Amino acid sequence: MLRYLIRRLIQTAVLLLVVSVVVFALVLLAPGGPSILLDRSMGAEEMARMRSLLGLDQPLYVQYTRWLAQVLRGNMGVSYQAGLPVLEIIGQMLPNTLVLSAAALALALAVAIPAGVVTAARPYTAVDHAVTFFCFFGVSIPVFWYGLMLIVLFSVVLNWLPPGGMYTIGGPRTLADLGRHLVLPAVVLGTANMALFTRYTRSSVMAVLRQDYLRTARAKGLGQRSVLYKHALRNALITIVTVVALQLPRLVGGAAITETVFAWPGMGSLAVRAAFERDYPMIMGITLVISTVVAASNLLVDLVYVYLDPRIRYD
Partner 1 sequence: MLEHVAKVAARAATVLGLALVLAATAGPVQQAAAQAAANTFSLPIIDNARMWPIVGGLPNILVNKVLYSTLVKYDAKNLAPVGDLAERWTLADDRLTWTFALRRNVTWHDGRPFTARDVKFTIERLWLNPQVAFFQRGNVAEISRVEVVDDYTVRIVTRTPFATLPVMLGYLANILPEHILGTYTPDQLRNPVDFLRNPIGTGPFRYAESVLGSHVRLVAYDRYFLGRPKLDAIVFRVVADLEQQLAQLQTGQLDLMIIEPPQVAVVQRMPHVQIIDAPQVNYTFVGFNNKVEPFTDRKVRQALTHAVDRKAILDKIYLGKGRIATGPINPLLDWAYTDKVHQFPYNPELAHKLLEEAGWSKGPDGIRRKAGQPLKITLDVDRGNPVREQTAVVVRQYWRDVGVDADVRISEFNALLARIRTRPNPLQAWTLWYITPPDPDVMGYYHSTGTLNEFGYANPELDHLLEQGRATFDVKARAKIYHQAQKFMAWDAPVIFLVYPAEIQALNRRVRGWAPIGYRDALTHMTGVSIGR
What gap in Å lies between CA 178 and CA 107, rounded to an integer? 16
35 near partner 1 (CB under 8 A)? yes
In the set 23, 28, 47, 299, which binds partner 1 (CB under 8 A)?
47
- H-only helix segments in the chain: 2-29, 44-53, 60-72, 86-121, 126-140, 143-150, 175-209, 212-219, 224-226, 233-253, 256-261, 267-276, 280-308
Q: Is 241 near partner 1 (CB under 8 A)?
A: no
Which residues from 93-132 bind partner 1, rule CB under 8 A? 93, 96, 103, 106-107, 109-111, 113-114
Binders of partner 1 in range 184-203 (CB under 8 A): 186
Measured CA to CA, the distance from residue 215 to residue 211 in angstroms comes to: 7
Find, among 279, 253, 266, the residue nearest to 78 by Cα: 279
Shortest distance in whole angstroms from residue 36 CB to partner 1: 5
Shortest Å, Cβ 168 to partner 1: 5
Q: Per CB under 8 A, which of residues 272..301 are in contact with partner 1? A: 272-273, 276-278
Q: Which amino acid is present at 79?
A: S
DSSP 125: S
Task: In whole angstroms, give the CA distance from residue 290 to residue 271.
Answer: 11
- What minimum distance in Å lies between the beta carbon of 17 and partner 1? 27
Q: Residues 60-99 vs partner 1: string with x where CB under 8 A?
A: ------------------x--xxxxx---x--xx--x---
Q: Answer yes or no whether residue 313 interacts with partner 1 by CB under 8 A.
A: no
237 near partner 1, rule: CB under 8 A: yes
Minimum Å gap between C-beta 244 and partner 1 is 12
Burial class (CB in 10 A: 0-12, 13-18, 19+), 241: middle
Separation CA 141–CA 312 (nearest Å) = 38
Q: Are 24 and 64 in contact (CB under 8 A)?
A: yes
169 sits near partner 1 (criterion: CB under 8 A): yes
Near partner 1 by CB under 8 A: residue from 183, 243, 296, 301:
183
Choice between 46 and 314, CB closer to partner 1: 46
Residue 218 engages partner 1 in binding (rule: CB under 8 A) = no
78 DSSP β-pair partners: 85
Nearest to partner 1 of 61, 145 (CB atom): 145
